[in-house]
Amino acid sequence: MKALITGGAGFIGYHLANELLKSNYEITLVDNFERGVEDSCLKELGENEKVKFLSLNLLDKSCYGKMDEEYDIIFHLAAIIGVANVLNRPEAVLRDNVLLLFNLIDFAKKQKNLKRFVFASTSEIYAGTLQYFDMEIPTPENTPLALTPLEHPRTSYMLSKIYGEAVLNQSMLPFTIVRPHNFYGPRMGMSHVIPELLRKAWFDEGKGKLEVFSPFHKRTFCYIGDAVVMMRLLAESESSIGQAYNIGNQEPEVTMKRLGELILLVTGKQYSIEEKEVTAGSPPRRCPNMQKTTACTDYMPKVSLEEGIRRTFDWYRTHIFNGSEMGAK
């Protein structure tokens, strides 16, 4: 089996590649390195004879001739993402994410034996429904979608993904949509709550206190190793064609304060939790209903939140806190 992963140098792409190698895939990773980083982990991955790297800007149609036309699965993970981009370049987020998808769809239609086009959407598509309606939590995939105000820059990312899902439904491709919910793990960059809290705790940035924002907002978290197994199984399942799936954990649902307590437990710090204000735009709860995904994959996440945080901390302590590398964004 041959797989193409766009955004292949990023957090999810790197871990997905390692998961696919366990099943003997040949893999092409494509990235423009705007967010991905060429660290020691990526270099080690590139030493595998079944892995090929291409540094390309997929917004440029001329670059597609440098890739094969015999991929069995395309995992489209590349997108403009991140708070800074969403707030400062919302037009580019909308335009480029949509153009990128259209380019990949055109490329996918040229494949000789394409079995699946997997599109990474986002849990943010539920934000408008949560804001305006009494949304069911845990949230199933068939939840009606509503938009947040169009003039808000934050709407740009979720709207690009909703539009992307709509386009794929009309594309005539054998597609599967995945909606990630709070993935975490090694190599995810620093602009996420778990590595951010790990950094604060390890370096005692609060001088004996760990600041936790939105302390009573609740989330579930999914360790990246479990997440990429679910992605692979969905891509390989015939019954997942034309369907959208949440990927994440349905439980345990923990408060941000409890998350902070687990961070202190894992890092061995004896600090107190300092409850801070609610982060603007943060929903009080976010939790995916995982029944549909579990029924399709027959897979239940295996890594507990405490164990996942411990694995994440071990990596960050070695590579970033006591090292000189940077995680992928």
pLDDT (tens digit, 9 = 90+) per residue, 27-45? 999 999 877 678 999 999 9
Whether 312 shows a pLDDT value over 80: the answer reads yes
What is the per-residue pLDDT across 88-101, written as a single tens digit (0 to 9) for each? 899 999 999 999 99
What is the per-residue pLDDT across 35-80, written as a single tens digit (0 to 9) for each? 767 899 999 999 999 999 999 999 999 999 999 889 999 999 999 8
- Model confidence at 299, pLDDT cuts 50, 70, 90, reads very high
What is the per-residue pLDDT across 155-204, written as a single tens digit (0 to 9) for each? 999 999 999 999 999 999 999 999 999 999 999 988 899 999 999 999 99
- Model confidence at 329, pLDDT cuts 50, 70, 90, reads low
Beta carbons within 10 angstroms of residue 139's beta carbon = 21
| 239: DSSP letter | G
The three state secondary structure string of 77-111 is CCCCCCHHHHHHCHHHHHHHHHHHHHHHHHHHCCC
Phi-psi region of 167 (alpha: psi -120 to 50; beta: other; left: phi over 0): alpha
**Whether 37 contacts 328, CB under 8 Å:** yes
Distance CA(176)–CA(121), nearest Å, equals: 10
Cβ neighbours of residue 164 closer than 8 Å, sequence gap 6 or more: 97, 98, 101, 119, 121
Element at 161 (helix H, strand E): helix 155-169
- Model confidence at 307, pLDDT cuts 50, 70, 90, reads very high
Q: What is the pTM of this model?
A: 0.96
Domain 2-184+221-250+286-302: give its CATH architecture. Answer: 3-Layer(aba) Sandwich (3.40)
**Whether 155 contacts 125, CB under 8 Å:** no
